[in-house]
Chains A and B, each alone.
Chain A
Amino acid sequence: MQKTLTTTALGLLAVLGLSGAATADIVLGASVSATGPAAFLGDPEAKTLEMMVEALNAKGGINGEQVKLVLYDDGGDPNKARTFATRLVEDDEAVAIIGGSTTGTSMSILDVTEDAEVPFISLAGAIDIIDPVKPYTFKTPHTDRMACQKIFEDMQKRGFTKIGMISGTDGFGASMQAQCKAVAGDHGIEIVADETYDPKDADMTAQLTKIKNAEGVQAVLNPGFGQGPSIVTRNFRQLAIDLPLYQSHGVASDGFIELAGADAAEGVRLPGTALLVADLLPEGDPQKPVVTAYKTEFEAKTGTSVGTFGGYAHDAFLILTDAITRAGSAEPAAIRDAIEQTKGLAGTTGIYTFSPEDHLGLDLSAFRMLEIKGGTWTLVE
Chain B
Amino acid sequence: MSELLQFLFSGLTVGAVYALVALGFTIIYNASDVVNFAQGEFVMLGGMITWFAHAQGLPLPLAALIAIAVTALLGVAMNKLMIEPARGAPVVSLIIITIGASIFIQGGTQLIFGKEIHSFPAFSGDEPLRIGGATILPQSLWVIAGALVVYVALWLFFTRTLLGRAVLATANNRLAAQLVGINTSFVMTLSFALSAAIGALGGMLAAPITLTAYNVGIGFALKGFAGAMLGGMGSPKGALTGGFLIGLIEALTAGYVSSQYKDAAAFVVILLVLFFMPQGLFGRKSTDRV
Contact = CB atoms under 8 A, between A and B. Distances in A.
A230 interface: yes
A22 B128 CA distance: 66
B210 A238 contact: no
A202 interface: yes
A8 B53 CA distance: 43
A21 to B, nearest CB: 34
Contacts of B211: 227, 230-231, 259
Contacts of B13: 202-203, 205
A205 B115 contact: no
Given A43-B115, A196-B259, A209-B7, A203 B14 contact: yes
B251 A226 contact: no
Nearest to A211: B259
A200 B18 CA distance: 12
Bin the interface of chain B by size: 35 or more
Contact of A198 (B6, B216, B251, B263): B263
B7 A263 contact: no
B75 to A, nearest CB: 23
Interface string A292-319: 0000000000001000000000000000
Contacts of A264: 126
A40 to B, nearest CB: 6
Contacts of A304: 114, 116
A105 B277 CA distance: 44
A259 B135 contact: no
A53 B25 CA distance: 48
Interface string A191-221: 0000111101111111101100100000000
B219 interface: yes
Given A209-B6, A259-B211, A226 B206 contact: no
- Most chain B C-beta atoms within 10 Å of own C-beta, residue among A196, A205, A263: A205
Contact of B115 (A39, A196, A213): A39
B6 A255 contact: no
Interface string B1-43: 0010011011101100100000000000000000000000000
B115 A259 contact: no
Interface in A119-147: none
A206 B10 contact: yes
A55 interface: no
B115 to A, nearest CB: 5
Interface string A179-198: 00000000000000001111
Q: Could you tell me the dominant secondary structure of chain B's interface residues? A: helix
B10 A200 contact: no
B254 A206 contact: yes
A288 B117 CA distance: 29
Bin the interface of chain A by size: 35 or more
Contacts of B7: 206, 209
A203 B251 CA distance: 9
Contacts of A197: 259
A196 B260 contact: yes
A240 interface: yes
A261 interface: yes
B7 to A, nearest CB: 5
A261 B254 CA distance: 25
A239 interface: yes
Interface in A245-287: 255, 258-259, 261, 263-264
Contacts of A255: 116-117
Contact of A227 (B210, B254, B258, B263): B210
B233 interface: no
A251 B13 CA distance: 25
A43 to B, nearest CB: 6
Nearest to B3: A209
B259 A263 contact: no
Contact of B135 (A40, A198, A207, A240): A240
Nearest to B137: A238
B119 interface: yes
Contacts of A239: 6, 135
B228 interface: no
Contacts of B3: 209, 213
Interface of A: 35, 37, 39-40, 43, 166, 195-198, 200-207, 209-210, 213, 226-227, 230-231, 234, 238-240, 255, 258-259, 261, 263-264, 304
Given A203-B209, A207-B259, 7 more contacts: A43-B115, A195-B258, A197-B259, A198-B263, A227-B117, A227-B211, A240-B128
21 contacts: A37-B215, A39-B110, A40-B115, A195-B258, A198-B263, A200-B216, A200-B219, A202-B17, A202-B209, A204-B10, A205-B10, A206-B7, A206-B252, A209-B10, A209-B255, A227-B211, A227-B213, A231-B209, A258-B119, A259-B118, A259-B211
The 7 closest A-B pairs by CB, nearest first: A200-B219, A202-B210, A206-B254, A227-B211, A206-B255, A205-B10, A206-B10
